[in-house]
Amino acid sequence: QRVDVEVGFGILAGFMGGIAGVWGLPTVIYLTALGTEKTEHMRIQGVVYGLGAVALFFAHIGSGVLRIETVPLSIALIFPALFGQWVGTKVLDSIDQATFKRVTLLVLLVAALNLLRRAIFF
């Protein structure tokens, strides 16, 4: 039965990724609901986001969002992203599992409230 749920979340994440380029939310919800250990949680998210980024890269080329004029900015933004990942790894290493879960749930709550705000107030 768990395989059915996993396939369902995979389909939902893929659908959301195809529609909006956002495939992480169902993954985070599912991993949090399972109580996945924080290091494994981040490892799985890294694989999901990495594969999604490859698909999004080709989609952006196909749609014209990524073109020769935008490549320099895209390359320049790799360095701040890597710095953010480094900081995030340090923070992850410094917190316990319970804090990780609370912060994850807080981020999900803020994201949900923001979606409601946007739906109500455009």
The Cα–Cα gap between 33 and 25 comes to: 12
pLDDT digits (tens, 9 = 90+) for 22-50: 777 888 888 998 899 999 999 999 998 88
User: What would the two tokens of residue 28 be?
Assistant: 């985070």
**What confidence score (pLDDT) does residue 10 get?**
79
Q: Are 49 and 13 in contact (CB under 8 A)?
A: no
**What confidence score (pLDDT) does residue 1 get?**
59
| Predicted structure pTM score | 0.75
User: What would the two tokens of residue 65 be?
Assistant: 């969002």
User: What would the two tokens of residue 71 be?
Assistant: 């490549």
Neighbours of 28 (CB within 10 A): 20
